[in-house]
A and B are shown apart, each in its own frame.
Chain A
Amino acid sequence: MSGMVEKTGKATWLIHLGLIIGIGIVCFPIYLAFVASSVSQAELVRPPMPLLPGDQLIENYTRALFSGINAPVWRMLMNSMIMALGIAIGKIIISLMSAFAIVYFRFPMRGLFFWLIFMTLMLPVEVRIVPTYVVVADFGMLNSYSGLILPLVASATATFLFRQFYMTVPDELAEAARVDGASPMRFFIDILLPMSRTNIAALFVILFIYGWNQYLWPLLMTTDPDMNTIVMGIKQMFPSGDDLTDWPLIMATALLAMLPPVLVVVFMQKLFIKGLVETEK
């Protein structure tokens, strides 16, 4: 044991047992979903519910990916991916630049602009959804990627995060760059941006998941099944009438929908740590 406090063997066991039970509780529904996606419809609806994976795994997933119910799942995954990436990258670029403007430039009505950005915090999508819908519809952007991305792309939270970070950067750094002959944009790109790298990575994870999990907005503005995103698409897979619910297919889709955010977290976590301990560029 190399911990700060020496633990007796018994205490360690108890702690680990508690953790394992916790993990079990969290993972069980996901395991059930996995089991459900690997059996046939008939096996699934016949009680008792199967607790071990069946042999229909590949078939169910192939069916979900390439035919789906309303639209093939690969199509919805791609839509979600475009939307989530668009939102995450767009938000990061916009907030990096607006924070840069607010921290490093004294322009007329700077305070006003700062408060305008601040106020958008109080107006989440749900509150402004009707006017936003009208604007997007008038621009003819329904059922388009730009319509999915643009209304969600401004972010007061991210602007604040970068503002706080920029304010911790010593003024001398900006002055040194000025003496070195760097223009403001050059300073932004050469110095501020690389220094924000870890912040950007952290924010990307949060914003990607935020974008991926958007439900209400895509539900409202995509009527064409080919433009459905995966999170709302799952809901659309439930039949409205007396049709049978194709549970194995829905469960397979649900698991596929979970995959990209999980991958982003796993992949970016490495970048995080690298950003914190790295010695080379």
Chain B
Amino acid sequence: MSTVTLNDVRKSYGRDEIIHGVDIDIADKEFIVVVGPSGCGKSTLLRMIAGLETISDGTISIDGRIVNDLEPMERNIAMVFQNYALYPHMSVFDNMAYSLKIAKMSKAEIRERVEKAATLLQLSDYLKRKPRELSGGQRQRVAMGRAIVRKPAVFLFDEPLSNLDAKLRVQMRLEIRKLQRELGVTSVYVTHDQVEAMTLGDRLMVLNGGHVEQFGTPIELYERPASRFVADFIGSPSMNMLSGTAGSGGVTLENGAFIASETRATGPVQLGIRPEHLVLNEGGPLVLEASMVEQLGSNTLVHGFLSGTRKALVASLQGVHSEDSIGPALQFDVPPAAQHIFDSDSGKRLDA
């Protein structure tokens, strides 16, 4: 059993507060992903949980014990760093065994634990090698092995995959997820990559400028983003945002098009619609002036503008569409269920 609780955690450097009160309850065995653009404070938050940064205000508890003033070692956590942070002069075995040696564990026990972790991570053949003789993916595995052998209460990952190439990243992502499920260790994972976040996390926390924008399951964030920021951040390609005026059972866009909606909001709003939710329909109210087509195989992205404006609009069509088959203007329906209405000023979601 290991839970992590953050209670109004704040961080300031001098007078600049960079984390403005984060509250989360992380359940046992849960995989939490903290996601946000660079500079949003996500790494700082993780380092505060790890004990590498002091906590300016609020409390962090692991297993119900407040750990604010404890050294990283005493918090029973293990951390995987972005650049792996392997000890370059030590063999893979020694790298993984180092924390156990410091904990004065018996040689036999160390050997057993390291070998078990190495088997799990397919590193058994590399135990005598030095980190520089390994590939990026293998180094990443050693870094994870170093975390596993400790049998910690919590795993902390600080953008562990960002130094790998795209293909390896996908592979390692799956491995991390599988490993976390197998070991059942509560994990906090920081990334700026929304695909990583969506695929890994049981729950995601979207952080923006030191504020929690939304905290929920990936599908909640996708289906009901709480703010324009989340809507924009989650999903690829990003959600289309069209400004308009709500009233009389719909939203009137800048170019005069009227989109029927179930919203009860009135006045200026932002209408969000994901590219994949636009329904191609001759005579639909939303007109896209196509300018460029990206064929991805499984789907086709049509980039262009909202007709009569310079407002960028993207539609994702299922399957293959050749550039020639797509006319200069496409008409779409905007199903009410796929609409997201946000307040023009605050950017907050306005529910129907």
B-contacting residues of A (Cβ < 8 Å)? 170, 172-173, 175-182, 186, 190-191, 194-195, 197, 279, 281
Q: Which 4 A-B pairs have the closest CB atoms?
A: A181-B73, A172-B85, A180-B99, A176-B85
Complex: A281 Cα to B92 Cα, angstroms? 12
Q: Is the CB of A195 within 8 A of B102?
A: no
- Judge whether B52 is part of the interface by a CB distance below 8 angstroms: yes
Minimum Cβ distance to chain A for residue B61 (Å): 18
Query: Which single member of B52, B82, B89, B98 contacts A194 (CB below 8 Å)?
Result: B89
Minimum Cβ distance to chain B for residue A176 (Å): 4
Complex: A173 Cα to B84 Cα, angstroms? 9
Q: Is the CB of A176 within 8 A of B102?
A: no
Given contacts A179-B79, A191-B89, 6 further A-B contacts (CB under 8 A): A173-B85, A175-B85, A179-B78, A181-B73, A195-B88, A281-B91
Q: Is the CB of B77 within 8 A of A179?
A: yes
Minimum Cβ distance to chain A for residue B342 (Å): 39
How large, as a class, is the contact surface on chain B? 20 to 34
Residues of A within 8 A of B133 (CB): 279
Q: Is the CB of B102 within 8 A of A170?
A: no
Query: Which single member of B81, B82, B89 contacts A281 (CB below 8 Å)?
Result: B89
Residues of A within 8 A of B88 (CB): 195
Residues of A within 8 A of B81 (CB): 172, 175-176
Residues of B within 8 A of A178 (CB): 51-52, 71-73
Q: Which residue of B lies closest to A197 (CB)?
A: B89
Minimum Cβ distance to chain A for residue B130 (Å): 7
- Judge whether B50 is part of the interface by a CB distance below 8 angstroms: yes
Residues of B within 8 A of A195 (CB): 88-89
Complex: A116 Cα to B128 Cα, angstroms? 45
- Judge whether B87 is part of the interface by a CB distance below 8 angstroms: yes
Say whether chain A's binding surface is mostly helix, strand, loop, or mixed: helix
Complex: A186 Cα to B212 Cα, angstroms? 38
Q: Is the CB of B83 within 8 A of A170?
A: yes
Query: Which single member of B51, B82, B102 contacts A180 (CB below 8 Å)?
Result: B102
Complex: A176 Cα to B98 Cα, angstroms? 10
Residues of B within 8 A of A180 (CB): 73, 98-99, 102, 146
Complex: A179 Cα to B102 Cα, angstroms? 11
- Judge whether B108 is part of the interface by a CB distance below 8 angstroms: no
Q: List 6 A-B contacts (CB under 8 A).
A: A175-B79, A175-B85, A176-B79, A176-B81, A176-B86, A178-B71
Residues of A within 8 A of B85 (CB): 170, 172-173, 175-176
Complex: A281 Cα to B98 Cα, angstroms? 16
Contact with A along B57-100 (1 / 0, CB 8 A): 00000000000000111000111011101111101000000110
Q: Is the CB of A190 within 8 A of B98?
A: yes
Complex: A182 Cα to B150 Cα, angstroms? 14
Complex: A180 Cα to B73 Cα, angstroms? 6
Residues of B within 8 A of A173 (CB): 85, 87
Q: Is the CB of B103 within 8 A of A181?
A: yes
Complex: A195 Cα to B83 Cα, angstroms? 17
Residues of A within 8 A of B72 (CB): 175, 178-179, 181
Residues of A within 8 A of B103 (CB): 181
Complex: A190 Cα to B133 Cα, angstroms? 21
Complex: A191 Cα to B81 Cα, angstroms? 17
Q: Is the CB of B50 within 8 A of A179?
A: yes
Q: Is the CB of A172 within 8 A of B99?
A: no
Q: Is the CB of A182 within 8 A of B102?
A: yes
Most B CB atoms within 10 A — which of A179, A186, A190, A191? Answer: A179
